Structure 1
Amino acid sequence: MTPSSIVVTGGTRGLGYGLARSLVALGHRVAVCGTDADGVAATAAELGVLARVADVADRGQVEDLWEAAVRRHGRVDVWVNNAGVSHRRLPLWRLPAHEARRVMEVNLLGVLNGSAVAAAGMAARGGGHIWNMEGLGGDGRTVPGLGVYGATKRAVTYLTRALSKEAPEGVSAGLLSPGMVVTDLLTYGYSEEERERAARIFAILADPVEIVAPWLAERVVTQARNGAHVRWLTPAKIAYRFATAPFSRRRVPR
């Protein structure tokens, strides 16, 4: 496989870090960003990638990340809008405004910024592919207490489908659906009692980063087609896991 130049936003922790690590293992040239300077420095040292401090809610900082990746690698072939945050599991009317705003800024405005910057840059340099990360709410399902998070992911799904129809010539877009991955994003905001109740579902459906990230990494390049929708946790897989749960030895991943 010819090495590609790939940018992963939010690539210094969780699934983003696992994805960056897996892409490097496959021989690709990778650039990442994060908001924590220590995490950015550690990722650069551990993976040998270009790592920048950048807040995806700021279009100028996203543009700087693009330019840095182009300077280092000559071009960007694939851009992965992975950066995301969640909020405490509270009904909308109890969720502080600053928490709701930050989720909207990172999960939606960040994807808007990344998609716009990547689409324009790729169009000027011969094309490329944009992946947006699907999440809970993307299919329209609602979960009480996660209204703002789910709303952003529903919007990202719509945005990606629209982008696949309006992107400039040579630029394509698609959705990556990692399913239920055990990171702090999945477990954030649970009380101990709530997490105990969720443990059974986690044991059936959740998977560790070390399993999901390498699988996604291979498809980030090989399935980069317009309108692509790459799903780790398919409806068939979900049905199989529930059907076999009474006989399975799966435990809550750590």
Structure 2
Amino acid sequence: MGVTETPVIVVTGGTRGIGHGLARELVARGARVVICGRTGVDEAAGELGATGVVADMTDRAQVEALWDKAASLGPVAHWINNAGVSTTRRPLGELPADQIHTVVGANLIGVLHGSAVASHGMLAQGGGTVWNMEGLGSDGRAVPGLLPYGATKRAVTYVTDALAKELKGTPVKAAHLSPGMVVTDLLLQDYDPAELEKAKKIFNILADRVETVTPWLAERILAGTGNGGRVAWLTRRKAAARFATAGFRKRDLFG
């Protein structure tokens, strides 16, 4: 696949949060962006200047239709599996079964379908990169109350590593995309007021706003990485430095 002046990029779950911010930054950098979601797609696409497709990533036929729409605009340079949800913060034994099914479906089945469809299409067109979004649990940390979410993100890391091995020697790459801790509805959902106030102390050290992280991510997606590579905003070194300077470097992400 030759280099195009206007790359076509798919961002799943691009109607809000990190996906929405990332789509905005990629459009601003001249990309032809296709977003998908189950609701609010037309409104978000109109606001962003992107192409919108209603798609449930757990439905293989709908994922294939998303690929077809994107490919009709030109070779798909990047496919970003960003769509994801979380459960309420409860011990596993207290979680309703439907929440577990929803999280595993969106965060893992959706990534598997997206990776399968995108890698197959990219092999046929001669190149491209599949990016899978990491999150809490990807690095092996276990957080009580978020077991299904963390388990799916740990699995996504495996999916990406294994896909990179399957694609070795081809013109298609699989890579990890790690935004770190970002202040979105997903991060803040389901806290009671007292717990949220405690959590904000950590968030103000480690977290960042969407508009801070997504321009950096967009630049590095467009620059590309090697097969199996990782683009990570919040590295261990950066996190350690923030804790070390937290006493005199005050940040307020919620003011």
TM-score normalized by the length of structure 2: 0.96
% identical equivalent positions = 59
Partner of 1:3: 6
d(CA) in 2 for partners of 1:19, 1:199: 24
Deviation at 1:249, TM superposition (A): 2.1
Q: Distance in 2 between matches of 1:225 and 1:130?
A: 11
Is 1:115–1:130's contact at 8 Å kept on the other side of the alignment? yes
- Matches of 1:217 and 1:30 in 2, distance apart? 12
Q: After TM superposition, give the deviation of residue 2 of structure 1 in Å.
A: 3.2
For 2:35, the aligned partner's letter is V
- For residue 26 of structure 1, the aligned residue among 24, 29, 32 is 29
TM-score, scaled relative to structure 1: 0.96
CA-atom RMSD in angstroms: 1.2
Could you say which residue in structure 2 is the equivalent of 1:158?
Answer: 158
Equivalences, count: 251
- Separation of aligned partners in 2, 1:194 and 1:101: 26
CA drift of 1:187 comes to 0.8
Q: Does 79-88 or 218-227 show the bigger shift?
A: 218-227
1:188 aligned partner, one-letter code: Q
* Cα deviation, residue 196, structure 1: 1.1
Q: Which amino acid aligns with 2:215?
A: P
1:51-105 Cα deviation digits (max 9, x unpaired): 011110111110000001111x122111000000011111110000000100000
Mapped partners of 1:101, 1:142: distance in 2: 20
Secondary structure of the structure 1 residue equivalent to 2:93: helix
Matches within 5 A, 1:66-105: 66-71=67-72, 73-105=73-105
By how many angstroms is 1:224 displaced?
Answer: 3.2
The CA deviation at 1:167 is: 2.2
Partner residue of 1:247?
248
Q: How does 1:1-254 map to 2 (within 5 A)?
A: 2-36=5-39, 39-71=40-72, 73-167=73-167, 169-253=170-254
Cα drift, residue 35 of structure 1: 0.8
TM-superposed deviation, 1:3: 2.5
Gap regions ≥5 residues in structure 2? none
| Contact persistence 2:209–2:253 (CA under 8 A) | no
- Following the alignment from structure 1 to structure 2, what is the Cα–Cα distance between the partners of residues 110 and 85? 11
Bigger mean CA deviation after superposition, 119-128 or 185-194: 185-194
Residue type at the aligned position of 2:56: D
Does the CA-based 8 Å contact 1:129-1:225 persist in structure 2? no
Offset of residue 225 of structure 1: 2.1
Identify which range, 3-12 or 223-232, moves more after superposition. 223-232
Alpha-carbon offset, residue 45 of structure 1: 1.2
Checking the alignment, whether the CA contact within 8 Å between 1:11 and 1:17 is kept in structure 2 is: yes
The whole-number CA distance in structure 1 between the counterparts of 2:120 and 2:223 is 22
Distance 1:189 1:107 in 2: 18
Superposed CA offset, 1:105-147 (max 9, x none)? 0000000000000010011111110000000000111000000
The runs of 5 or more residues in structure 1 that have no matched partner are: none
How many Å apart are 1:253 and its aligned residue?
3.9
Segments ≥4 residues shifted beyond 2 Å: none
8 Å CA contact 2:213, 2:233 repeated in 1:
yes
- Native 8 Å contact 2:137 2:153 kept in 1: yes
